[in-house]
């Protein structure tokens, strides 16, 4: 596999923030932990659980909308548009429902696909499966 830097695609780092949009602010795995704790807590009342679920659904929708905006900006300003096109192609091939995964998982999948978009198909599949766990 040809390293991303050799293909002219900037690596994710603080120094490249002017060239590529940085990761979304919510792109970390424990983002929803506060609401999930409220839902799992046996002492939480039914009304509080219903409200926590509503809040979680609103946050999930907001995060997905942010992910779409972030990715659209990234695709339109990429220094490697072919990689972004291949990322979009493979994203459609490895269909992931926004209803079944968090925006963070969707973002992780896209980052992995982006990294391996031009590599061996077997490698792309193996790396994509690791995310699903």
Residues 97-112 pLDDT 10s: 777 777 888 888 889 9
Residues 38-94 pLDDT 10s: 889 999 899 999 999 999 889 888 888 888 888 899 899 999 999 999 999 998 887
pLDDT of residue 21: 54
Residues 8-29 pLDDT 10s: 434 443 334 344 556 777 777 6
pLDDT of residue 98: 74
pLDDT above 60 (res 114)? yes
Q: What is the 3-state secondary structure (H, E, C) of the chain?
A: CCCCCCCCCCCCCHHHCCCCCCCCCCCCCCCCHHHHHHHHCCCCCHHHHHHHHHHHHHHHHHHHHHHHHHHHHHHHHCCCHHHHHHHHHHHHHCCCCCCCCCHHHHHHHHHHHHHHCCCCHHHHHHHHHHHCC
Q: How far is CA 88 from CA 14, 15, 27, in A?
A: 24, 25, 19
Q: Is the dihedral of CA 43, 45, 46, 48 positive or negative?
A: negative
pLDDT of residue 9: 37
């Amino acid at each position: 596999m040809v390293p991303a830097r050799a293909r002219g695609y900037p690596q994710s780092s603080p120094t490249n923030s002017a060239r590529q949009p940085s990761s979304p602010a919510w792109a970390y795995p424990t983002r929803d932990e506060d609401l999930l704790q409220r839902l799992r807590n046996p002492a939480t009342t039914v009304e509080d659980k219903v409200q926590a679920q509503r809040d979680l659904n609103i946050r999930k929708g907001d995060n997905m909308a942010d992910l779409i905006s972030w990715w659209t900006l990234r695709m339109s300003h990429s220094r490697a548009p072919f990689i972004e096109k291949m990322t979009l192609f493979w994203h459609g091939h490895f269909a992931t429902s926004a209803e079944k995964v968090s925006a963070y998982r969707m973002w992780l999948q896209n980052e992995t696909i982006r990294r391996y978009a031009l590599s061996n198909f077997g490698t792309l599949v193996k790396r994509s499966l690791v995310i699903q766990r």
